[in-house]
A and B are shown apart, each in its own frame.
Chain A
Amino acid sequence: MANLKDLKTRIQSVKNTRKITKAMQMVAAAKLRRAQESAEDARPYAARMNAVLGNLAQGAAESENAPLLLRGTGKDDVHLLIVATSERGLCGGFNSSIAKLARAHANELVAAGKTVKMITVGKKGRDQLKRDFGDIMIHHVDHSEVKRLGYVHAANIGKDLIKRFDTAEFDVATIFYSRFESVVTQIPTALQLIPAKFDVAEETSSTLYDFEPEESEILDDLLPRAVSTQIFTALLENGASEQGARMSAMDNATRNAGEMIDKLTIEYNRSRQAAITNELIEIISGAEAL
């Protein structure tokens, strides 16, 4: 039987752990609210952008001189995977599920004889994928110093991406992130960025717009922005998902710690009782022997 003092220290240490996980859960809850708000705030812009571009793209996609960003290079030999994960751990299966999806995707492409390149955003994803794909990682975006994710951060990734596209470094770009469904469900998602895809089937897009300057010029101007906007949306969703995942992971941890404390306390009381009984038996048998 474990000794009483040991049990007492263990109970105390589990209690401390529970305090920490509880605090982390509350912090994550507060951050989640903020992340959700930013995701909410960003929605009108992205929605409008999509609507207008969907409208434009519909007409332009068939034409011969459509921008490469929209039409693609006509090949799909080199794939670029952008894996967006978090900078911090302790958020349950959040990072692993994104990494898993990206890994499956990459293996599939490699098996099909394509060249795969990878850009990672967020330290945790890179750590997980480094062993298998370390040699095809061409860039890593570090957001560990970023307090509040802004559009600039997404725009920088977008600019970098377009520069690489212009120098024919890849044909197809796909971003992997986690879509925020609710606090308990986050869905790892793959979204193709280049060539750009837009949901055109919208009723509002039936209005016929005039364009100034020319449609093709507008497309040239807007497509890079649209790519950045999609990255921004993905990063924001990711941010909300991360906090949601952390919140439920920490909630679980707190609950587990509570159960463990109960179990240990029972064991502690039992040992204490056993020790007392033992002592009593000794006293009684000692008295009887007299």
Chain B
Amino acid sequence: MADTMQFDLVSPERKLASLQAESVSIPGTDGDMVAMPNHEPLVTTLRPGYVTVVAGAETTEYLVTGGFAEISAEGVTVLAENALPKGEVTKEILEEFHNIAKADLEAATEHQNAAAARRVAEHHELLIRHAI
């Protein structure tokens, strides 16, 4: 059994990471999950949160704000609308995402309302967690 798998993190603008990883934890819309090699094929949407990649002794975290992840036996591909390394995350950035989410909620039509509201709450949670 392979003990590492290919991990790719891509945003619409660039490829952020591509490496061999042992496990990847993903903030799925329906809850966090950890993908390890030979995971069953799965596609999940993301909620705003941190993707954690464990590769050997190194653990890297990336902030993602939605998109989706494609998991297969060979690897994990995270397609995030916005993504950046945790080290670059500041309160201002999180606030901006929060504000965008709020603006979206106001513009949302009835059937997107629930999703937009949840998004605002999730961004709010990120902000609070960052403050701690």
Residues of A participating in the B interface, judged by any CB pair closer than 8 Å: 38, 41-42, 44-46, 48-49, 52, 56, 150-151, 154-155, 159, 163, 166-167, 207-213, 217-218, 220-222, 225, 228-229, 232
Contact = CB atoms under 8 A, between A and B. Distances in A.
Interface string B50-71: 0000000000000000111010
Given A52-B70, A209-B70, 18 more contacts: A44-B8, A44-B10, A46-B12, A155-B81, A159-B107, A163-B109, A207-B72, A209-B42, A209-B43, A210-B41, A210-B43, A212-B45, A213-B45, A217-B29, A221-B29, A221-B68, A222-B68, A232-B12
B79 interface: yes
A151 B43 contact: no
Contact of A218 (B10, B43, B104): B43
A221 B79 contact: no
20 contacts: A41-B13, A45-B11, A48-B77, A151-B13, A155-B81, A163-B107, A167-B109, A208-B41, A209-B42, A209-B43, A211-B43, A212-B42, A212-B43, A212-B45, A218-B43, A218-B45, A221-B45, A222-B68, A225-B81, A228-B12
B15 interface: yes
B115 A221 contact: yes
Interface string B10-34: 1111110000000000001110000
B44 interface: yes
B125 interface: no
B95 interface: no
A48 B13 contact: no
**Residue of A48, A150, A228 ringed by the most chain B CB atoms within 10 A:** A48
Given A45-B11, A218-B43, A151 B109 contact: no
Interface residues of B, number: 29
A155 B81 CA distance: 10
B45 A45 contact: no
A72 B54 CA distance: 43
B12 A229 contact: yes
Contacts, number: 84
Name A's interface SS.
Answer: helix
Nearest to A149: B13
A166 B107 contact: no
A218 B69 CA distance: 11
A210 B40 contact: yes
Interface of B: 8, 10-15, 28-30, 40-45, 66-68, 70, 72, 77, 79, 81-82, 104, 107, 109, 115
Contacts of B12: 42, 45-46, 151, 154, 228-229, 232
A24 B41 CA distance: 50
A217 B68 CA distance: 12
A159 B108 CA distance: 10
B93 to A, nearest CB: 13
Contacts of A52: 43, 68, 70, 79
A239 to B, nearest CB: 13
B72 to A, nearest CB: 6
Nearest to B33: A212
Contacts of B11: 45, 151
Contacts of B81: 151, 155, 225
Contacts of A209: 41-43, 70, 72
A217 B42 contact: no
A207 B109 contact: no
